[in-house]
Amino acid sequence: MKFSFSGEQEEFRSNLRRLLADVSPPKEVRRLMETDAGWERDGWRKLNETLGLTALRIPEAYGGHGFGFGELGIVLEEMGRALLCAPYFATAVLATGAIINAGTEAQKQALLPDIALGETIATLACAEDDGLWEAAATTLMATPSGSGYRLDGHKSFVLDGHTADTIVVLARAPGSSGETGLSFFTVRGDASRLERRLLKTMDPTRKLARLAFSGVEAALLGEEGAAAAPFGRTIIEAAVCLANEMVGGAERLREDALAYAKMRMQFGRQIASFQSMKHTAADMLLDVELAKSAAYYAAAALDDGDADVAATASLAKACASDTYMQTAIHAIQIHGGIGFTWDNDTHLWFKRAKSSEVLFGDASYHREQMMRHWAA
């Protein structure tokens, strides 16, 4: 297992950080989060082309660069830090993951090159109104129809579901239950009889949609009835990627709060000189560094094909969930009254911390998952 980034990786990170600071300052985050789409195609296409971001982990055979989760983790950490408003997680982690994990050779050839180029925005629709990211909870029904399938039911909490060009949908065969009878399907975003509604999200930087399917035409992705395993794998990858995104945001909050404490004067001295502030700041550093170690380790475990990766992924997600939220709470406290205002930027990351805490399962859920995988 590697415990450090290479020189090339560090250089990639610092270039990316510089660029994202430029294209995604808080002012731009605020502008985009007020839009319904939550991102803009021209801006995103340009950024993606410059750095080849959606191509990063797609194998070279499908028009990608063939990098691993170590590099993907770096990208997500920096995007989390900059609070970039873009359909990256949905496209490059969720949809790409589902296609790589489940798709046939021909389907990968057909779907991945356009994602790598940044032409196709894609997402994965799995959870439903009960908000569970577990295969067995699926109720959306897929009925054979002609040469294809028709989907009936609903999906919710779909990342960028209202703007995606292609939607990978997890659905089940009539009469099936549990983890059997599940298949992936692809659906066009503009398909008829698909109703997409933007949900009002507490975190405006992460757009979610509810999708209602009433006989929507769909194409099978991968093997029929065998989606449970590739879905499980995709969610493990998503948990690891999100953990990496989260530690980037947590570190940004920590740094901003520290900078504020050094600048803010009360009682004739910098508030950073009070031990109560210092002890909080030291604990924030400890929390964030531990969560970073777990997130990096989990990404390396994915790349290494580690047998314990499910437990490690849950460990990293649980650790990041608690840490990001706790860091956000401390950051607002350190800012005092100004930290509770709309004009101060802290709440943007606070809300991202909250949405990340819950997405794909909160800390308690992942602690239980970890115990099941690890200590059973």
Partner 1 sequence: MSEVNEATVRAEVRAWLEANWDPELGLIEWRNRLAESGWGAPHWPSAWHGRDLPAGLVPVVEEEFKRIGAVGVAKAGIRVLAAATILTHGTDMQKEKFLRRSLTGEDTWCQLFSEPGSGSDVAGAVTRADLRGNHWVINGQKVWTTSAHKADWGLLLARTDWDKPKHAGLSYFILDMKQPGVTVHPLKQMNGHASFNQVFITDAVVPPEMLVGEVGQGWAVTTTTLMHERRGADGLRTWAQASDRPGRCYEEERAEIKTTMEPYKWYPQRAGRVDLIVQRAKQTGRFEDPVVRQEIAKVLIMSKAAEWTARRARAAQEQGRPQGPEGSLGKLASSYIARAAARVHTQVTGANALLTGEDSPMGGVIAEILVSVPATSIAGGTDEIQHNIIAERVLSMPKEPSVDTGKPFRDVPRNTVR
| Contact residues: partner 1, CB under 8 A | 2-4, 258, 261-262, 269-270, 272-275, 277-279, 281-283, 285-286, 289-294, 296-297, 315, 318-319, 364, 367-368, 370-371, 374-375
Nearer to partner 1, 297 or 324 (CB): 297
Dig out the tokens for 117 from the structure.
């180029």
Nearer to partner 1, 46 or 269 (CB): 269
To partner 1, the closest distance from the beta carbon of 369 in angstroms equals: 9
To partner 1, the closest distance from the beta carbon of 7 in angstroms equals: 9
**Identity of the residue numbered 144:** P
Number of H helices, E strands in the chain: 12, 9
Nearer to partner 1, 28 or 255 (CB): 255
**What SS3 state is found at 22?**
helix
Spacing of C-alpha 73 from chain mean position: 10
Alpha-carbon distance 66 to 312, whole Å?
23
Are 367 and 318 spatial neighbours (Cβ–Cβ below 8 Å)?
yes
To partner 1, the closest distance from the beta carbon of 283 in angstroms equals: 7
Nearer to partner 1, 41 or 278 (CB): 278
To partner 1, the closest distance from the beta carbon of 233 in angstroms equals: 22
Dig out the tokens for 271 from the structure.
């508030």
Q: Nearest 5°: CA angle at 293, between 56 and 248?
A: 55
To partner 1, the closest distance from the beta carbon of 355 in angstroms equals: 21
To partner 1, the closest distance from the beta carbon of 244 in angstroms equals: 14
Nearer to partner 1, 49 or 368 (CB): 368
To partner 1, the closest distance from the beta carbon of 127 in angstroms equals: 23
To partner 1, the closest distance from the beta carbon of 18 in angstroms equals: 19
For tokens 């399938």, the residue is 149
Nearer to partner 1, 157 or 297 (CB): 297
Alpha-carbon distance 243 to 227, whole Å?
24
Nearer to partner 1, 164 or 334 (CB): 334
Q: Nearest 5°: CA angle at 339, between 29 and 86?
A: 15
Alpha-carbon distance 249 to 340, whole Å?
18
To partner 1, the closest distance from the beta carbon of 248 in angstroms equals: 15
Centre a 10 Å sphere on the Cβ of residue 307 and count the other Cβ atoms it contains: 9
Nearer to partner 1, 134 or 165 (CB): 134
To partner 1, the closest distance from the beta carbon of 203 in angstroms equals: 24
For the stretch 199-204, contacts whose Cβ atoms lie closer than 8 Å and that sit 24 or more positions apart, written own/partner, are 199/156, 199/157, 201/355, 202/351, 202/354, 202/355, 203/351, 203/352, 203/354, 203/355, 204/33, 204/34, 204/38, 204/351
**What SS3 state is found at 10?**
helix
Nearer to partner 1, 90 or 281 (CB): 281
Helix %, strand %, coil % of the chain (to 5): 55, 15, 30
Nearer to partner 1, 218 or 331 (CB): 331
Are 136 and 178 spatial neighbours (Cβ–Cβ below 8 Å)?
yes
Alpha-carbon distance 197 to 217, whole Å?
19
Alpha-carbon distance 299 to 324, whole Å?
18
